[in-house]
Structure formats: C-alpha cells, structure tokens
C-alpha cells in the first residue's frame, strides 16, 4: 500500500521552558476499554488519551459488535446484543495489546479467538503466561499458527503463580477470574499503577478484587458485572518523557495533572544525573543541569525503573559526563534504538542485555528512523539537545502513544516541525496493516 512519508524535524540546543498537561494513561485506557466486554451495561471512561492505539482498540471492540461513542476524552462502551468472539489479525497486528480481549471474551461468552500477535520490534513478546493462567481457570486453549482459540463452559477460580510479573498476563487472568466460580489467587502479579487502575475500575463494576498493587491478587468471582463511570490515571510514561525533555535541554519543565507517586524512580534517576526536581501535589518540575552526570540504570517491573523509559534515558545519558550502563531486564530486544542513536554520534557498546554509553558523544545532525514508540520519542528528545538538525522518520510509531507530541514540545519552545513528503511512496507494511499516517500538516 502507499503511504505519505512524514517526518519530524528538530533543531535542537534550545532549553525548553513551561508547563505541559499530561493525558490519561494509554496502558490503562486500553485495558479498561477491553474490560467493558465483561458487562452488558454501559461503561463510561474519562481522560482517555487521543492516540492511535486507542483508535485501534475502538476498532477491535466495534469489530466484536460493541457500541462505542466518543466525545473528546470520554468514551462510552456497551457490550449489549450479539458479541463476536474474534479479534482479527488485521487489528491485532497493528496493536499487540489487543490480546487483552482474550480474558474478557472467555469470561463473558465462554469462547474467544484472537489472532496470534507474534513478536514486535521490542522482542518476542510471548503469551505463554496468559495461556497457562487461563488454562488453570479451566479454559481449553488451542494455539494455531495464525490464531489462538479458547473455550470454557465454566471458569473456576484457582491458585495461579506467574513465572514473571507480566502486565498483560496479570490483566487477562484478573479479568477472566472476575466472572469465574470461586476464588482466584494470582501470585507474582504485576504491580504497575495501570493494574491498580484496572482493578479499581473492575471493582466499581462489581468485581471483588483485593491486593492490586501488591504481588498477590485475590479475586472472588461474581455472577455478573455492571456498568460504571471511571476516570483513567495520568500517563506516567508520557509525564516521564516530558520530564526528560526538560532535563536533556537544560530547561525548566513542569508536568501537570500527574500522580508523583508513580514517578518516584524517574525522579530519583533525574536527581542522580544532576537535575533539580520539585514535587508538588499533582505536578513535578524538572530543571536540567548545565552538565549532566552519568548514571547506571536497570529496567525492572514496577516499582523498578520502567523499560518504556530506557531509550529516553539512553538519549539523556549520551550527553552526560562519563560512562553510564543501562541493563534491560524486561524485553530482550529493546536495544534496536542504539543503531539509530549511533547515527547521531551516540557511542554505545552492547554486551548482551547491558549497554555501555559514553557520554558527551551525541553531537551530530542526521536522519534516523523511529523503530518503535518509545525509541521514537527518545530520538526526538536527542534531537532537542543536539546543536544541529535531526530528522526522524517513521513517526507513525510515536502517534501510537503520544498525542500531538511535536506540538506540545513546540509549546515549550522547541524548534520542531512535522513535514510531509509530497510523494506517495510504497512502504513494505506487515500483512493486513492498513494504517495510513494521518495528515498532520506542515509546520507547527
């Protein structure tokens, strides 16, 4: 298929100043939207971010027969009437998080068919833990080449220890267990704030979940869930990205409408590289230093350092004074960003899942490709700091998770533009991927 080539062009070396409002959390909104499958009553969700992944989830739910209405950041979803059982490849291939409809479909309809999401640019991203957990609740699951089929006459609560605190597996199992008979105890569960948000929403819908935010979730099954109104928590990764924008440019940026308790590890690391960080009730101010200091970082499940901020911090540490080490413990292939960073002069050596970054190396103008969502944002951040011009291609990845990212950076004083190549070019997209890059216009 053809597709217009858009790129972001950044002229850096300009400190950013000002305030930016943070949106609702992508990784909470997507799961709460899927949770609406569990009831025939309307679920009203507020503070839903305006991003492409949310559009894909709307398509998934509408494809299943749910009614979805949107008004700005409010989405109302109702799963009344006949509901389909299948999330097709065309949608799952665009957004891996579509797998999260599996648990709710199984619990509500006793059947589900979801296309196999496969790997992606950040790694293999297996779903064995989702499958094993649902099997322990009594589902029969058949994994084919192209899709996965699940069936259960009845789900029965069970004790399920997860080998790894997977976010997606915790969510799928938790949602299925809400309508199971009896009690489920999920051990080594993920503790991310988005899990707590999902559990809070499910409890408002009549579920009986305790322990969210700890490693042990206890879910007492109920017969039925009802509708609810729910407001999504602020996006801690979006907030962290703008905090790094302040830090990397030696600027003074305040992120507003955030929950600072979700940002503790980011605040700690920004302080360790020399930033002055001030925490307010629902805002955080970051003042970047004249010279950034090196630091060592290891990504871990929450409350550890988030893997989603690994690439932005690598860009930051490329400008620091001295050598830093980043260890990626969550995804096996989240270093693909380094190839692009090197094009801007970044000096990074990789040894297995460790990256050694020589600071002060990031200086060159250049053209780079966003390999995935967070790496794309990180390349923009690098561009903001470099004296010269950086062009970032493949920016549709960034639209997946950040609303109006260039525009909001421009409002903080960045010299940043989105330009559209006039020619329609053939791109090799994955089978069934029908995404057209939206027309964001020229200049901001």
Binding site residues, ligand EPZ, CB under 6 A? 26-27, 30, 97, 123-130, 164, 166-169, 307-308, 330-331, 373-374, 401
CB 143 → ligand EPZ: shortest distance, Å? 12
Nearer to ligand EPZ, 86 or 372 (CB): 372
118 or 413, CB closer to ligand EPZ?
A: 118
Provide the minimum distance between the beta carbon of 17 and ligand EPZ in the complex, in angstroms, as a whole number.
27
Least distance between ligand EPZ and beta carbon 327 (Å): 14
Residue with Cβ nearer ligand EPZ (157 or 306): 306
Residue nearest to ligand EPZ (CB): 168
In sequence order, the 6+-apart residues with CB closer than 8 A to the CB of 272 are 293, 295
We find the least distance from the C-beta atom of residue 170 to ligand EPZ, in angstroms, to be 8
For the CB of residue 291, give the shortest distance to ligand EPZ in the complex, in Å: 30
Nearest to 34 by CA among 83, 125, 81, 97: 97
Which is it for strands 283-287 and 252-256: parallel, antiparallel or unpaired? antiparallel
Q: Looking at beta carbons only, is 96 or 111 nearer to ligand EPZ?
A: 96
CB of 413 to ligand EPZ, least distance (A): 26
3-state SS, the chain, equals: CEEEEEEEEEECCCCCEEEEECCECHHHHHHHHHHHHHCCCCEEEECCCCCHHHHHHHHHHHHCCCEEEEECCEEEEECCCCCCCEECHHHHCCCHHHHHHHHHHHHHHCEEEEECCCCECCECCCCHHHHHHHHHCCCEEEECCCEEEEECCCCECCEEECCCCCHHHHHHHHHHHHCCECEEEEECCCCCHHHHHHHHHHHHCCCEEECECECCEEEECCCCCCCEEEECCECHHHHHHHHHHHHHCCCEEEEECCCHHHHHHHHHHHHHCCCEEEECCCEEEEECCCCCECCEEEECCCCCECHHHHHHHHHHHCCCECEEEEECCCCCCCCCHHHHHHHCCCEEEEECCEEEEECCCCCCCEEEECCCHHHHHHHHHHHHHCCCEEEEECCHHHHCCCCCHHHHHHHCCCEEEEEEEEEEEECCCCCCCCCCCCCCCCCC
Nearer to ligand EPZ, 57 or 414 (CB): 57
Distance (Å) of CA 392 to CA 143, 309, 373, 377, 437: 38, 18, 12, 10, 14
- The answer to whether the bond into 303 is cis (omega within 30° of 0) is yes
Q: How far is the CB of 302 from ligand EPZ (least distance, A)?
A: 7
Q: Which is nearer to ligand EPZ, 240 or 283 (CB)?
A: 240
Q: Which position among 3, 120, 178, 201 bears the catalytic label?
A: 120
Does 201 participate in catalysis according to the annotation? no
Report how far residue 39's alpha carbon sits from residue 79's, in angstroms, rounded to the nearest whole number.
Answer: 6
Beta carbon of residue 119, minimum distance to ligand EPZ (angstroms, whole number): 9
Q: Which is nearer to ligand EPZ, 105 or 129 (CB)?
A: 129
Q: Which is nearer to ligand EPZ, 369 or 374 (by Cβ)? A: 374
User: Among all residues, which ones are annotated catalytic?
Assistant: 120
């Amino acid at each position: 298929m053809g597709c217009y080539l858009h790129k972001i062009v950044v002229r850096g070396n300009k400190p950013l100043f000002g305030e930016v409002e943070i949106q609702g959390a992508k990784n909470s909104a997507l799961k709460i939207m899927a949770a609406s499958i569990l009831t025939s009553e309307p679920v009203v969700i507020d503070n839903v971010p305006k991003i492409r992944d949310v559009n894909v989830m709307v398509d998934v739910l509408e494809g299943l027969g749910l009614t979805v209405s949107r008004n700005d950041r409010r989405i109302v979803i109702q799963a009344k009437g006949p509901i389909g059982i299948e999330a097709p490849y065309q949608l799952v291939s665009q957004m891996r998080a579509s797998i999260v409809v599996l648990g709710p479909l199984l619990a509500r309809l006793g059947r589900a068919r979801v296309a196999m999401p496969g790997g992606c640019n950040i790694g293999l991203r297996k779903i064995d833990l989702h499958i094993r957990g649902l099997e322990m609740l009594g589902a029969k699951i058949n994994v084919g080449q192209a899709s996965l089929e699940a069936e259960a006459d009845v789900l029965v609560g069970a004790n399920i220890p997860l080998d790894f605190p997977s976010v997606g597996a915790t969510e799928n199992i938790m949602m299925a267990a809400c309508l199971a008979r009896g009690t489920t105890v999920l051990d080594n569960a993920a503790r991310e704030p988005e899990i707590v948000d999902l559990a809070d929403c499910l409890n408002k819908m009549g579920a009986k979940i305790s322990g969210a935010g700890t490693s042990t979730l206890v879910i007492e099954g109920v017969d039925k869930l009802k509708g609810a109104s729910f407001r999504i928590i602020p996006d801690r990764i979006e907030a962290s990205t703008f905090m790094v924008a302040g830090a990397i440019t030696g600027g003074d940026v305040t992120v507003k409408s955030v929950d600072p308790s979700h940002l503790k590890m980011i605040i700690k690391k920004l302080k360790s590289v020399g930033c002055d960080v001030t925490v307010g009730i629902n805002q955080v101010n970051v003042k970047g230093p004249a010279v950034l200091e090196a630091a060592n970082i290891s990504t871990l499940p929450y409350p550890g350092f988030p893997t989603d901020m690994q690439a932005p911090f690598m860009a930051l540490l490329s400008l620091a004074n001295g050598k830093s080490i980043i260890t990626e413990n969550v995804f096996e292939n989240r270093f693909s960003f380094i190839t692009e960073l090197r094009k801007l002069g970044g000096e990074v050596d990789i040894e297995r899942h460790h990256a050694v970054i020589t600071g002060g190396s990031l200086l060159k103008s250049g053209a780079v490709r966003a390999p995935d969502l967070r790496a794309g944002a990180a390349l923009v951040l690098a561009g903001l700091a470099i004296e010269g011009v950086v062009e970032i291609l493949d920016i549709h990845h960034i639209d997946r998770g950040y609303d109006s990212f260039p525009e909001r950076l421009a409002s903080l004083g960045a010299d940043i533009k989105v330009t559209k190549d006039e020619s329609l070019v053939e791109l090799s997209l994955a089978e069934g991927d029908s995404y057209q890059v939206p027309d964001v216009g020229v200049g901001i």
